[in-house]
Structure 1
Amino acid sequence: MKRDWMSDARQIPDEVMTYLRQIAVCAVIEKNCHPDDVSNVLGVSRSSVYDWLRRFTIDGYDGLETQKAPGMPPLVTKEMDQWLKDTVVQKTPEDFGYETPLWTCDILAELLRAEFGIQVVAATVNDHLKKLNLSYQKPCYRAIERNPEEVKKFLEYKFPRIQRLAARLEADIAFEDEAGIDLRERSGGTWGVVGETPKVSVTGKRGHCNVLSSVTAEGNLRYRVTEETITAKTYITFLESLIADRVKPLFLIADRASFHTSKMVRRFVCSHRKQLRLYYLPSYSPDLNPDEHVWEEIKDKRLGRSTILNKPDLLKKLRSALRSLQENKDRIKSFFLLPETKYAAGV
């Protein structure tokens, strides 16, 4: 049975066709074969052989390689690519009248149509964004009430002063925060059949507790678990545990929660001034607090992925997770090496 490619050279793969052209030209040029004979043996037209000889005369054997068709010019040009990158990095959809700050490929496709008059699908936009070294990420949310000048003042003036004073008094610097831990909080994912959401059995019971913690750049973690609502009194109890049996003074940096700034707490700190000083982060700036990452570690990476049966089980596993993290000083030190917290790494 005769193969299709034997009667139609278009069926021959490009790489093989390149070799056939080179063999044909070699036969004519170097072995003095007649072009008609080469045409008959290879089953190609005489005009094809003479065309190959012409291409060889101009570019040598390299000119006999299969040339890919140029195809249609790209719909999204380099100018549009640069506009895409600048738009994603420097603006939000709200600047264009959308009621969301989050970019999607569908929104960008609409803007490309409005800006340049081209019709592209979201998948095309996605491909171009990846080539521009952009990726789809979970954003870091910042409160609109945040004052950039206050943050700048804290980073460039206030905190360096705290560091210098701590060095002079040989004090330790720690960052403090609190978090609620709920029995029904879940995180993480699992594998399953495509199109079928995996089912995981969990408790439907209610249960809640609170944790207060502090961390230092040296990798020290202190914490207190309580089932009570955190009040000024609860906070003072934690402060008392932090300064108990301390040799060095402690400079504690916290956010501006109401119980942190209460008169009761202020009076306590003033009465223990030789042991404790309390400073405050800029308003709406949790990203500046390395202690925030304790909760990411405990809630999201540990408890949120565990099977928890009831509140006693929650308390048991919470304390176990905290003890485990407390022993991992390198992990705690890493909380001070993030872009937003590395300013505190030298304390």
Structure 2
Amino acid sequence: MGAWLCFEDEAGQTLRSPKGRTWGAKGGGRVSIAALVAVKPGQRPRLIYRTRTYRGRKGEPKGFGSADYAALFDGAHQHLGAPVVVAVDNLNTQVSARMRQLIAARPWLRVYQLPPYALEFNPVEAVWAHMKKSLANLTTRTLDQLADLVKNRLKRMQYRPALISGFSPRPGWTPTRRNLRH
């Protein structure tokens, strides 16, 4: 099929420091992030992400919706220039009827679900751990500063393919119908 295998996950970061103590401001907003780690034999791994800032306004979505995930997959397809096979967790947005419609409209896209609580299979979990560790004890006063800092940390990772390779599933793991669900 010549496709890229992509692992997707989402995370959020608030103005509260993820570790340690900080004099940073407390706030009700957050930066939501959705990311893909894309791997293909013979190619360097890729990290592709999108962010959304939630400011706590009435009617404002807190996180990513089906259309946002479809846009992420569209961007990955365009960037990678090949079909995309995506392994997702069991987030309700990703298994919704609307998401199934969006996936069906893209012949170059296949989406499979990882088993529940299979963090060791998803390299994006390691991306989040690395990013949050790099944000520990840093002070940001506004959500815009936090969003810029999150993007900065993710961009740094994008330019370190060896680091992204280290986040890949444990050695010897290969995707099968047994550990992925369609």
1:226 paired to 2:56:
no
CA 1:342–1:335: 2 relative to 1, 3 Å: farther
State how 1:323-338 maps to structure 2 within 5 Å: 323-336=155-168
1:211 paired to 2:37:
no
Aligned partners of 1:255 and 1:286 also within 8 Å: no
Unpaired segments of 5 or more residues in structure 1? Answer: 1-168, 189-198
1:293: Cα distance to partner? Answer: 0.7
**What value does the CA root-mean-square deviation take over the aligned residues?**
2.1
Within 1, Cα distance between the matches of 2:124 and 2:69?
Answer: 16
SS of match in other structure, 2:75? helix
Within 1, Cα distance between the matches of 2:127 and 2:79?
Answer: 24
Q: Letter of the aligned partner of 1:289 in structure 2?
A: N
Aligned residue in 2 for 1:319: 151
Aligned residue in 2 for 1:296: 129
Aligned partners of 1:207 and 1:310 also within 8 Å: no
Aligned partners of 2:34 and 2:50 also within 8 Å: yes
SS of match in other structure, 2:92? coil
Aligned residue in 2 for 1:149: none
Aligned residue in 2 for 1:241: 75
**TM-score under structure 2 length normalisation:** 0.80
State how 1:1-347 maps to structure 2 within 5 Å: 169-188=1-20, 200-217=22-39, 218-227=44-53, 228=61, 229-244=63-78, 246-273=80-107, 275-299=108-132, 301-336=133-168, 339=170, 343-344=173-174
CA deviations over 1:62-104 (Å, ceiling 9, x no partner) = xxxxxxxxxxxxxxxxxxxxxxxxxxxxxxxxxxxxxxxxxxx
Aligned partners of 2:17 and 2:137 also within 8 Å: no
Aligned partners of 1:336 and 1:344 also within 8 Å: no
**TM-score under structure 1 length normalisation:** 0.44
Aligned partners of 1:219 and 1:331 also within 8 Å: no
Aligned partners of 1:184 and 1:206 also within 8 Å: no
Higher relative contact order (CA 8 A, sep 6+): 2
SS of match in other structure, 2:11? strand
1:342: Cα distance to partner? Answer: 5.0
Q: Letter of the aligned partner of 2:14 in structure 1?
A: D
More helix by share: 1
CA 1:305–1:343: 2 relative to 1, 3 Å: farther
Aligned length: 163
Unpaired segments of 5 or more residues in structure 2? Answer: 54-60, 176-182
SS of match in other structure, 1:174? strand
More strand by share: 2
Aligned partners of 1:176 and 1:214 also within 8 Å: yes
CA deviations over 1:214-263 (Å, ceiling 9, x no partner) = 00343210000112422222222222222236531111111111111111
Aligned partners of 2:17 and 2:24 also within 8 Å: no
Within 2, Cα distance between the matches of 1:310 and 1:245?
Answer: 31
Within 2, Cα distance between the matches of 1:317 and 1:342?
Answer: 35
Aligned partners of 1:336 and 1:342 also within 8 Å: no
